Amino acid sequence: MSRRRPTRRAVRNGLVMAVLAVVAIGWAVPMIWALAVSLHPSNEPLSASNLWFGAHPSLANYGQAFGIAPFAQYYVNTIIIVGGILVVQLVTISLAGYAFARYRFRGQNLLFFLILLQLMVPSSALIVPNYSTIRQLHLFDTLVAVMLPYFGSAFGVFLMRQTFKSVPRDLDDAARVDGANWLQTLWHVYIPPARPAMIAFALSSISFHWNDFLWPLVVTNSAASRPLTVGLAVFTQLGEIGAQWPLVTAGTIIVVGPLLLLFLLFQRQFVESFVHSGLK
């Protein structure tokens, strides 16, 4: 009996692995195909018999894509947007998290609840009034407009409050004895142990805002403030003459290539930070 069980288990394991491998390949195929088609020459029509690289694969589509759309500008915009949001978020959530974690003050529960409302009402449901606000502030078509609604982060405040609460009170008292004011205490006592949480938050914020589409679509108009997502959407709308898949996939790879590369290199950190921020 016991001689058979390992074999059956081994067979079952092998089957499971095989099925998993097939599914995993299926999961990866869309990206692989897009990469192959981006090298397909544009004068060879795509067909069931000519699906992948074409007879003479070339990088010409990439050159053409760069000539049509200012991807470099889109990259710069996206980096500024994502970086700007993150920097301001780190400041606001640290201050607010510190206030909630460290102090007792009247109305603090109500104030905390009001901030948490942001978690329940996502910004995408508020594009109509927020768009009008941006208009009234005369900030339409600016990088700041894309960043502004996100400067306050309920998720971040929640995270920082949790993290700061776990800092032992003794350290705080010691600092106070030494004569530190609130800012020095925050900076020297609370922030250092919160660094992992802040990194997790940073990765989560960066990936959300890098991939944000609807809000930037609504508040940007020109290449000067357009991020990559909207730039790609504009690029794919050049369809009056029919689909140009080699060109469009090249544009898509230009947009996601670096992102995927970064992910490949820092896969573990990415995944861990998502889990960390989520489980909190």
Residues of span 94-153 touching another protein by CB under 8 A: 95-96, 98-100, 102-103, 105, 108, 111, 114-115, 117-133, 135-144, 148-153
**Least distance between another protein and beta carbon 84 (Å):** 8
Q: Which of 264, 235, 229 is nearest to 247 (CA)?
A: 235
Distance CA 206, CA 200 (A): 10
Distance CA 204, CA 164 (A): 19
Q: Does 85 bind another protein (CB under 8 A)?
A: no
CB distance 52 to 201 below 8 Å: no
Q: Does 260 bind another protein (CB under 8 A)?
A: yes
Q: Does 261 bind another protein (CB under 8 A)?
A: no
Interface residues for another protein in 230-249 (CB under 8 A)?
Answer: 230, 232-234, 236-245, 247-249
Distance CA 95, CA 84 (A): 17
**Least distance between another protein and beta carbon 20 (Å):** 6
**Least distance between another protein and beta carbon 197 (Å):** 16
Query: Residue 274 — left, alpha, or beta (φ > 0 → left; ψ -120 to 50 → alpha)?
Result: alpha
Q: Does 15 bind another protein (CB under 8 A)?
A: no
Distance CA 81, CA 227 (A): 8
CB distance 188 to 172 below 8 Å: no
Interface residues for another protein in 166-185 (CB under 8 A)?
Answer: 173-185
Q: Which is nearer to another protein, 166 or 221 (CB)?
A: 221
Q: Does 53 bind another protein (CB under 8 A)?
A: no
Which alpha helices (H) appear in the chain, and where do they start and end?
A: 4-38, 60-68, 71-102, 108-120, 127-136, 143-147, 154-165, 169-177, 182-185, 195-210, 214-219, 228-236, 245-265, 267-279
**Least distance between another protein and beta carbon 195 (Å):** 18
Q: Does 252 bind another protein (CB under 8 A)?
A: yes
Q: Does 163 bind another protein (CB under 8 A)?
A: no
Q: Which residue of 2, 7, 47, 109 would you call a contact of another protein, by CB under 8 A? A: 47
Phi, psi of 234 (to 5 degrees): -60, -40
Q: Which is nearer to another protein, 6 or 239 (CB)?
A: 239
Which residues have CB under 8 Å from 151's CB, separation 6+? 85, 88, 89, 92
**Least distance between another protein and beta carbon 61 (Å):** 10
Q: Which is nearer to another protein, 166 or 214 (CB)?
A: 214
**Least distance between another protein and beta carbon 220 (Å):** 9
> Applying CB under 8 A, what is the total number of residues that bind another protein?
136
